[in-house]
Amino acid sequence: MSLQLVNVSCWHGKMCVVSEVSFHIAAGEHVALVGGNGSGKSTLMRSILGLHRAYHGQILLHGKADVPRADLHDRFRSIAYMPQRQTTGHFPLLVRELLASSRQLAASQLAAERLNVWQLAARPLHTLSGGQLQRVFLARAIGMLAGEAKLLLADEPTAALDFGGQAEIAQVLADLPVATLVITHDRAVMSRCDRVFEMAGGCLREV
Amino acid sequence: MTILTFEQFTELLQLLPVQRAVFAILIASVAMPIVGVFIVGLNIMSVRFAMMHVALLGIAIGLLLGLDPTLCGLVLCALAGAATAPLAGRPAGLSGPHGFLMTMAIAAALFVLSLSGVNANGAFELLWGSILATRNSDVVMIAVISLLVLGLYVWQRRSLGLLLFDREIALCSGVNVERLTLILLVVIALAVAASVRLTGALLVDSITLLPALGARNLGTSLSSCVRWAIVLAVVGNLLGFVLTLFFNQPPGPMLVLTVGGLTLLTYLKHRSP
């Protein structure tokens, strides 16, 4: 699945936080998105996903135009997403239940075993460390990619990990055979991507 | 305070209204704590007060139009629950809309009662239910709504777990969050309105919220929270009812105090989220 953005601008109220961004990510291509805090990276990613709806321009998934709000849950199923805020939620949820939300529990379990978190399956998420949570969310995303999802959006997927963990997860991400857009400040992740985009003041340039 | 002998207690249990009350408690204690878990999970404690007042407005409209007041209360609560659903995704949550709804509903209810010339006390009495005054129609109503609640839980357990955990994670997992929230708010509104008829407006928490608050301290997932909530509700309400009969006291306060006591005990084993 490819991802194409055409003149996308995102708004928070009357404030434009992403201005006229256009790019294309081919199927299987890995792209890093870097930039300072508040430069609009996460808002852009949330707009691609459909969580942020205040935008103009076109977001095309595999050439398919933007979907109306009512059909958004279909879009959510076609994108695997690792949120920046690795939430521990308002209500208890077991690691196993989060992994099952990928709709591909076997694949998620396999990924969780590889990422060394499957032994935590019976634990509530709020009892995990930040690094463990990030590994669980990655295992869930990999499970989704084994099903309907063909695009990975990851927002700072290694931020809570130690140096060894950052290199390990960067390699796991690099090995995924799907189009990937990853927001990162981690050189280990950046160096394994095909291209790097930088955002500053809401504008995008390739570096 | 009069204390019954065991023989007097068993004689009371032979009475039809008492048997009906036990039956109603059992049905409600199995299903309504699940609604309490939904309320705690969505962090919408204010929904109880809002729906109680909306139910009063429904009762007032029923009295004005000569329709079944309880049915009018249920229908209006369902509509009010559905009307608030689009606001559920806002960062500010639903406490503001519920406060607005509560104030407007009570004002409108008093206005309608004034227009119809019906004594307001009569309308309030309908809200001030008692488990010992339970009618067959109340048992049927609570049974139907209990089935609805259980059905929703069984049908959507995984999606509900994700929604209560985090709205955005549920969205990103392909859950139709808006539709599920709408269904949930309608079912919560109906359940609160039906429970009000059973236990009285101020005591509805003994079968919904208090067991759920206790379960939140003991459970590690939606399923375990639901199991704990049902156990606390069944044990607490049956024990409270037995104490009501033994000590010849009003049922509502006794039920709340008993379930509340059990809930308090769960805080001894509280695990912070």
Query: Rounded to whole angstroms, how far apart are CA atoms B60 and B122?
Result: 10
Beta carbons of A197 and A206 less than 8 angstroms apart: yes
* Beta carbons of B222 and A92 less than 8 Å apart: yes
Distance of CA B107 to the CA centre of its chain: 23
Chain A residue with Cα closest to B273 = A126
For residue B139, report the phi and psi dihedrals to the nearest 5 degrees: -65, -40
Confidence bin at B115 (pLDDT 50/70/90): confident
**pLDDT value of position B253:** 84
Q: Which has more confidence, B273 or B227?
A: B227
| B224 interaction partners in chain A (CB closer than 8 Å) | 92
**pLDDT value of position B125:** 66
Query: Rounded to whole angstroms, how far apart are CA atoms A111 and A164?
Result: 18
| B220 interaction partners in chain A (CB closer than 8 Å) | 92, 94, 123-124
Give the residue from B242, B214, B246 showing the smallest Cα distance to B227: B214
For residue B247, report the phi and psi dihedrals to the nearest 5 degrees: -100, 5
**pLDDT value of position A66:** 66
Which residues numbered 179-238 in B keep a CB inside 8 Å of some CB on A?
216, 219-222, 224-225
* Beta carbons of A83 and B40 less than 8 Å apart: no
- What lies within 8 Å, CB to CB, of B100 at 6+ separation is none
Cross-strand partners of B200: none
Beta carbons of B237 and B176 less than 8 angstroms apart: no
**pLDDT value of position A62:** 80
**Who among A51, A92, A123 is closest to B219 (CB)?**
A92
**pLDDT value of position B85:** 92
Q: Whose structure tokens read 């279909």?
A: A74
Chain A residue with Cα closest to B177 = A73
Confidence bin at B273 (pLDDT 50/70/90): very low
Give the residue from B178, B174, B176 showing the smallest Cα distance to A77: B174
pLDDT beyond 90 at B107: yes
Q: Which fold has domain B6-268?
A: ABC transporter involved in vitamin B12 uptake, BtuC (1.10.3470)
What is chain B's mean pLDDT, rounded? 88
Q: What is the pLDDT of residues B118-127, one digit of tens each?
A: 776 666 666 6
**pLDDT value of position A87:** 67
Query: Rounded to whole angstroms, how far apart are CA atoms A77 and A57?
Result: 22
Q: Domains of chain B: which residue ranges?
A: 6-268
Q: What is the 3-state secondary structure (H, E, C) of A174-200?
A: HCCCCEEEEECCCHHHHCCCCEEEEEE
Chain A residue with Cα closest to B175 = A73
Query: What 3-state DSSP class applies to A59?
Result: strand
Sheet arrangement for strand A55-61: A15-25, A3-12, A55-61
For residue A106, report the phi and psi dihedrals to the nearest 5 degrees: -60, -45
pLDDT beyond 80 at B135: yes
Range from B11-25, B113-127, B228-242 carrying the lowest mean pLDDT: B113-127
Ordered mean pLDDT values, 10 residues apiece, chain A (207 residues): 92 93 94 93 93 91 72 81 75 94 93 96 92 94 92 92 90 94 93 94 88
Beta carbons of A99 and A139 less than 8 angstroms apart: yes
Mean pLDDT (whole number) for B145-154? 95
Confidence bin at B134 (pLDDT 50/70/90): confident
* Beta carbons of B220 and A92 less than 8 Å apart: yes
Minimum distance, in Å, between the CA of residue A50 and any CA atom of chain B: 9
Q: What is the pLDDT of residues B64-83, one digit of tens each?
A: 998 988 899 999 999 999 99
| A150 interaction partners in chain B (CB closer than 8 Å) | none
* Beta carbons of B173 and A101 less than 8 Å apart: yes
Element (H, E) at B223: helix B222-247
Give the residue from B125, B114, B129, B108 showing the smallest Cα distance to B57: B108
Cβ–Cβ contact B157 with A under 8 A: no
ipTM over the 0.85 cut-off: yes
Give the residue from A29, A12, A74 showing the smallest Cα distance to A49: A74
Q: What is the pLDDT of residues B184-224, one digit of tens each?
A: 999 999 998 888 777 676 577 888 999 999 999 999 999 99
Range from A188-192, B135-139, B242-246 carrying the lowest mean pLDDT: B135-139
- For an interface test with B, the pick among A67, A78, A87, A91 (most B C-beta atoms closer than 10 Å) comes out as A91
Cβ–Cβ contact B165 with A under 8 A: yes
pLDDT beyond 50 at B262: yes
**pLDDT value of position B122:** 65
**pLDDT value of position A55:** 92
| B213 interaction partners in chain A (CB closer than 8 Å) | none
Query: Rounded to whole angstroms, how far apart are CA atoms A91 and B160?
Result: 11
